[in-house]
Amino acid sequence: MKNVLLVVAGLVLMAGSGAYAYLALMEPNLAPAKDIKLEITPQRLERGKFVFEVMADCVGCHSERDWTKFAGPVKEGRLGAGFQFPAALGFPGDVVAPNITPDRETGIGSWTDGEKIRAIREGISKDGHALFPFMPYRSFRQMSDEDVYAVVAYMNTLPPIRNQLPRTKLSFPVNYLIKTMPAPVTAPISSPSKSDALHYGEYLVTMANCMECHSQAEKGEIVKGTEFAGGRVFQFGPVSVLSANITPEMITGIGSWDEEQFISKFQGYSQLTRDNAPMASQANFTIMPWLHLSKLPEDDLRAIYTFLRTVKPVRNAVEPHKPLIPQS
């Protein structure tokens, strides 16, 4: 019996070692970056600014923000300069949203347009390594060709900012598992028609990556059955917030909201600026980028509302701002 147990233990060890070796040696699924030089047009710059700063909220992660104020407005002159996430968020390692300004030494000024497009939609860096999927490339895979072109065109016009940041350093086994997540975009993607409110709303919600924050997660993956039901904890220093339930559940979600109430929720923040935003406290702290999302056109908000009415209702009561427990 003892010999059998030793053999089994040896086989388990060999299997584990084999899996480790496989993950350590494997390369991400990647395709060469497109050989493309984007034309910068006024139309592309306008659309790119909207997607970058509002809809996809690229600035939310890739900028330094003033978390002492409501909704963390971007600090003046730090748009796209990058940000190192605090350990309290519970990421598997040290996660850094890099400097994505055109600075050639500390940003992405040496990247080609094709390499930028590949990073956004396929999760592959310039040097070929897989990006940590908190960068929502799995959602951005659905971004239309023209929208990603517009984003890159706009990024090319950002003022270069010299800001040297460390690279993301993930813990085992996530540092190997992320190699399985990138995938090439192999076919053209067209922009959805705004006249089809349901599918256009789905497109916007996917691009905004709403499900990521408004779902619970374990080890970086959304827990099945919690999609859009909120309850994910975001801790920044002494303050924290739980994301809201935005499913159409009548009691704990937004099922009782009509379309006008939904729109008013966003437009109610339209007068907020970096200068007049109130100070943040446990009672109002949020990572929701209200200063940007309040600029969404009404038609876009109606489309988002239309799509959210179709997601599965989940009963999940959330108290976004739990009172702080005094330290004894």
- Report the pLDDT value the prediction gives residue 284, as an integer from 0 to 100: 96
Q: pLDDT tens-digit profile of 218-242?
A: 866 899 999 999 999 998 888 999 9
- Report the pLDDT value the prediction gives residue 36, as an integer from 0 to 100: 97
- Report the pLDDT value the prediction gives residue 324, as an integer from 0 to 100: 67
Which tokens is 308 given? 């959210």
pTM, to two decimals: 0.89
Annotated domain spans of the chain = 31-191, 192-328
- Report the pLDDT value the prediction gives residue 91, as an integer from 0 to 100: 84
- Report the pLDDT value the prediction gives residue 26, as an integer from 0 to 100: 76
- Report the pLDDT value the prediction gives residue 224, as an integer from 0 to 100: 95
For the stretch 104-123, what's the b/e string if a residue is b when 16 or more beta carbons lie within 10 angstroms of its beta carbon? eebbbeebbbbbbbbbbbbb
Q: pLDDT tens-digit profile of 175-218?
A: 999 999 999 999 999 999 999 999 999 999 999 999 999 999 88
- Report the pLDDT value the prediction gives residue 218, as an integer from 0 to 100: 83
What are the residues facing 242 on neighbouring strands? Answer: 233
SS (H, E, C) the chain: CHHHHHHHHHHHHHHHHHHHHHHHHCCCCCCCCCCCCCCCCHHHHHHHHHHHHHHCCHHHHCCCECCCECCCCECCCCCCCCEECCHHHCCCEECEECCCCCCCCCCCCCCCHHHHHHHHHHCECCCCCECCCCCCHHHHCCCCHHHHHHHHHHHCCCCCCCCCCCCCEECCCHHHHHHHCCCCCCCCCCCCCCCCHHHHHHHHHHHCCHHHHCCCEECCEECCCCCCCCCCEEEECCEEEECCCCCCCCCCCCCCCCHHHHHHHHHCCCCCCCCCCCECCCCCCCCCCHHHHCCCCHHHHHHHHHHHCCCCCCCCCCCCCCCCCCCC
- Report the pLDDT value the prediction gives residue 12, as an integer from 0 to 100: 45
The per-residue pLDDT string of the chain (328 residues; one tens digit each, 9 = 90 and over) reads: 445 444 444 544 444 555 555 556 578 989 999 999 999 999 999 999 999 999 999 999 999 999 999 999 999 999 999 999 988 777 889 999 999 999 999 999 999 999 999 999 999 999 999 999 989 999 999 999 999 999 999 999 999 999 999 999 999 999 999 999 999 999 999 999 999 999 999 999 999 999 999 999 886 689 999 999 999 999 888 899 999 999 999 999 999 999 999 999 999 999 999 999 999 999 999 999 999 999 999 999 999 999 999 999 999 999 999 886 554 4
Amino acid at 154: Y
- Report the pLDDT value the prediction gives residue 8, as an integer from 0 to 100: 44
* CA-closest candidate to residue 302, choices 246, 270, 261: 261
